[in-house]
Amino acid sequence: MSTGARTSPLHERHVALGAKMADFGGWDMPIEYPGGGVVAEHTAVRERVGLFDVSHLGKATVRGAGAFDLVNSCFTNDLGRIAPGQAQYTLCCDASGGVVDDLIQYVLAEDDIFLIPNAANTAEIVRRVKAVAPEGISVEDRHESYGVIAVQGPRSDEVLESLGLPTGHDYMSFVQAQFGAPGHDVIVCRTGYTGERGYELVPRWDDATALWDALVEAMKPLGGMPCGLGARDTLRTEMGYPLHGQDLSLDISPVQARAGWAVGWKKEAFWGRDALVAEKAAGPRRLSWGLLVRGRGIPRAHCAVLVDGEVVGEVTSGTFSPTRKQGIALALLAPTVGLGDEVVIDVRGRQVAATVVRPPFVQVQVRE
């Protein structure tokens, strides 16, 4: 175990399964399990169903009269687009337009907003919102009050239904339910980070183990399996989903990362608004694209991208796609590079040819 790393409520379950553990955002989390590793886990999610412990993700609450308006004035997306019972992807930016974090905001009620930021950024998100919260609104870090378990894949509904949990609600909506004994509450949200149909379950911290055990048993007849963060990364890269710290950062704005769809451009105020409006109007100095490797070679983050021997950008995320069985990457490229262009990726001194494409790299049914 990583020295000083925090552990999820399911840590003992991962150790008992023989998972390969590693530090992720300051948490000791499973990267893969015995019995096939990343490729087998990835394939299970694409074809059947997989189960992820993502309890390292942050949790925070913003409560009190005016909570809705406060959160809406901080983050980029427009909460006015959704209603109670719905969730939304959004970004926390600084004054420069750089991304402090990307997160999901759940509207439980007008006066009760639940946030799920990334593990390493939770305290900073709470600090920033708390600093501008007026009297009467509480902003609390609830990182170790709740677990998060993701059930992802085309057979995910069957798993939840076998346990009496709600299914079939609209994409990015959630239902508050109970699991097992009365009082064991769980939020069931139609979200995920894999591109497949699926759900993210948010139980109380102390209830997470019983829920995990039940889900593991329920998916066995369907050919499902526990999946680590290694498969989570290959799945999200195939979809072109950004990872904060690589594809989004204080140096990579939503405009550059093609995340402008998560910006409420018509809102009067949100952190970073002036800088982002100016960047959008002027045109970004670089833009995120997908790269599809031709032939052998697996690109990795920070690999240079070249055209005619000149550097035109850099890979932000790269991996081997188990679905396509070839190398894929996300990269920030100069505006002179466009869809269909041929480029070269410098992979540890080896020139690897690739084609510029627009993600996703696979076709899935996430919203259906």
- Separation in Å, CA 184 to CA 114, 144, 158, 324: 18, 16, 21, 41
User: What is residue 181's predicted lDDT score, i.e. its pLDDT?
Assistant: 78
User: What is residue 67's predicted lDDT score, i.e. its pLDDT?
Assistant: 98
Interhelix angle 67-74/122-132, nearest 10 degrees: 120
List of the chain residues with pLDDT < 50: 1-2
Name the nearest CA neighbour of 297 among 346, 358, 246, 238.
346
String of DSSP letters for 48-98: S-EEEE-TTS--EEEESTTHHHHHHHHSSS-GGG--TTEEEEEEEE-TTS-
User: What is residue 3's predicted lDDT score, i.e. its pLDDT?
Assistant: 54
User: What is residue 4's predicted lDDT score, i.e. its pLDDT?
Assistant: 78
User: What is residue 367's predicted lDDT score, i.e. its pLDDT?
Assistant: 67
User: What is residue 1's predicted lDDT score, i.e. its pLDDT?
Assistant: 41
User: What is residue 2's predicted lDDT score, i.e. its pLDDT?
Assistant: 42
pTM: 0.96
Reading the block at residue 291, the tokens are: 């790269």
- Is-cis flag, bond preceding 360, omega within 30? yes
Reading the block at residue 110, the tokens are: 């007008």
CATH numbers and ranges of domains, the chain: 6-54+145-238 (3.30.1360.120), 60-141 (3.30.70.1400), 285-362+364-368 (2.40.30.110)
User: What is residue 204's predicted lDDT score, i.e. its pLDDT?
Assistant: 97
